[in-house]
Amino acid sequence: MSRKALGILLLFFSLQVFGEEIVFTDSEKSLLEAFTPWPTVIPADPGNEYSGLKWAEALGAQLFNDPALSADQSISCASCHQSSKGFSDGFALPQSGVAPHVRNTQGLLNVGYQRWFGWDGGADSLWAASLRPMLSDIEMGSDIEGIATKLRDTTYLTEALEQNDLEIAALDDETVVVTVAKFIGAYMRTLASGETSFDKFLASLGVPDIEVRYPLSAQRGMKIFFGEGNCFVCHFGPNFSNGEFHDIGRPFFTGVGQVDPGRFTGIKRVNNDPFSLAGNFNGTKKEAEILKTTSVKFRQVNFGQWRTPSLRNLELTAPYMHDGSLQTLRDVIDYYAEIDPARLHSKGETILKSFTWSEREREDLVMFLKTLSEK
Ligand code: HEC
Ligand code: HEC
């Protein structure tokens, strides 16, 4: 029997497609348990004493939209992170920064579920991830003194601080900027997305007499995602991200002779970051959180690894990958289908292999991914 025929036969049995009904086995159902519940509680921003305080979240939302945080007062966080696009910008690479960038603007929905931030995990909290763009010479191009000077004249901020017994004049420049970053961190933690048709379908599985309309094509795609595709291994848990770093073989050259080594630099960044949880500005000083930061060490294997992205609300955040190099979800599926394991970077993931997916199977996977977006 040819490989293809065998594949089709195996698929037939593993899918258990009888007529129009698709059956999920008990072992599939127990695996799917790990992808519930949704929505679920988002942990507090680590080291952020303002996380969870309503007034700080509201202030953070205002600051997120305030161009005062950039060098020439023309760029706000929202210039790149637009709410209508799941807080991404729709470009392969950002167009609003002070200089050309080599990484795709990440969407911010559900970002609080992550434990490392940035494609390379270069920040260990949402507030540290907020300081980075302000001080970055390719994003907002500002500096501590410049930002603090402008913030001291920002009436909505000084008034809100006073109402909460904080006197801006009593704080040094660095503390002013860190405090504001913590408000923004508190706000970003609230950016959670809601229930999707996938979540409704999952909740209905195993509940007698409940019927949820969920396209058969998506169900077939789901079987591949949680089956032979092995996608669930990295895109794991209710947020479809294991929060860890992997090399799926996307190019890391950013120009002639230039590379973006991903996690390799991310770990160095955390180690050298004065605003990490190991530094003086950690406002909650939780042992376990500090240990997470101090125990991270880089190894050669981290070269070319990127944090597994969440797959929720992908319909809002095209194009895809750390460099925005794939335009559509179909392009992503075609990429996975045609991976050449021999050409994966030397330390590539052994779990990845190429597939002989038909046109229909590829479309089924795309359909499944689309059901992870809110409609
Ligand atoms: C010029 C465009 C641009 C601006 C302005 C910008 N960002 Fe970003 N943002 C990015 C890019 C690009 C990344 C990915 C960076 C990386 O991986 O190194 C990112 C990543 C992030 C992340 C990590 C998301 C994740 O999933 O881990 C957070 C949080 C974030 N930005 C918050 C902010 C905040 C807060 C501001 C304003 C203070 C801001 N950004 C301003 C482009 C921008
Ligand atoms: C070995 C872990 C791993 C496996 C297995 C895996 N992925 Fe990924 N996935 C990643 C990583 C890491 C990235 C980001 C890579 C980059 O930016 O270069 C990614 C990116 C993506 C993206 C783009 C998301 C975005 O926001 O840019 C989609 C969609 C996706 N994967 C779907 C799948 C599907 C479908 C499968 C199964 C066929 C799969 N993944 C298997 C780790 C994995």
Radius of gyration of the chain (CA): 22
* Range from 3-7, 125-129, 247-251, 330-334 carrying the lowest mean pLDDT: 3-7
Residue-wise burial string across 136-159, b where 16 or more C-beta atoms lie within 10 A, e elsewhere: eeebbbbebebbbebbeebeebbe
Distance, CA of 120 to chain centre: 11
| Closest listed ligand to the CA of 309 | 2
Alpha-carbon span 177 to 172, nearest angstrom: 9
**Most distant CA atoms of the chain, gap in Å:** 79
> What are the pLDDT digits (tens) for 65-107?
999 999 999 999 999 999 999 999 999 999 999 898 999 999 9
Q: Name the residue among 80, 83, 76, 75 with its Cα closest to residue 109.
A: 83
Percent of the chain with pLDDT over 70: 93
Q: Judge whether 277 and 265 are in contact, CB under 8 Å.
A: no
pLDDT of residue 347: 58
Domains of the chain: 3-33+196-252+314-370 (1.10.760), 41-192+263-302 (1.10.760.10)
Ligand 1 atom 11, closest CA: 105
Q: How far, CA to CA in Å, does 191 sit from each of 77, 141, 270, 366?
A: 14, 25, 24, 25
Ligand 2 neighbour 338 (Cβ under 6 A): no
Give the lowest-confidence range in 111-125, 268-282, 334-348. Answer: 334-348
Residue carrying structure tokens 């503390």: 175
Which H or E run includes 174? Answer: helix 173-188
Q: Tokens 């190099």 sit at which residue?
A: 325
More confident residue, 179 or 2: 179
Strand partners, 306: 246
Query: Does 126 contact ligand 2 (Cβ within 6 A)?
Result: no
- Residue 151 identity (one-letter amino acid): L
CB of residue 320 inside a 6 A radius of ligand 2? yes
Q: Report, in this order, helix, strand and coil percent for the chain, each rounded to 5.
A: 45, 5, 50
Of all residues in the chain, the percent with pLDDT exceeding 90 is 78
What three-state secondary structure class fits 3? helix
Residue 19: the pLDDT is 56
The ligand that comes nearest to the alpha carbon of residue 337 is 2
Specify the pTM. Answer: 0.93
Closest protein CA for atom 2 of ligand 2: 234
Nearest to 312 by CA among 112, 169, 82, 110: 110
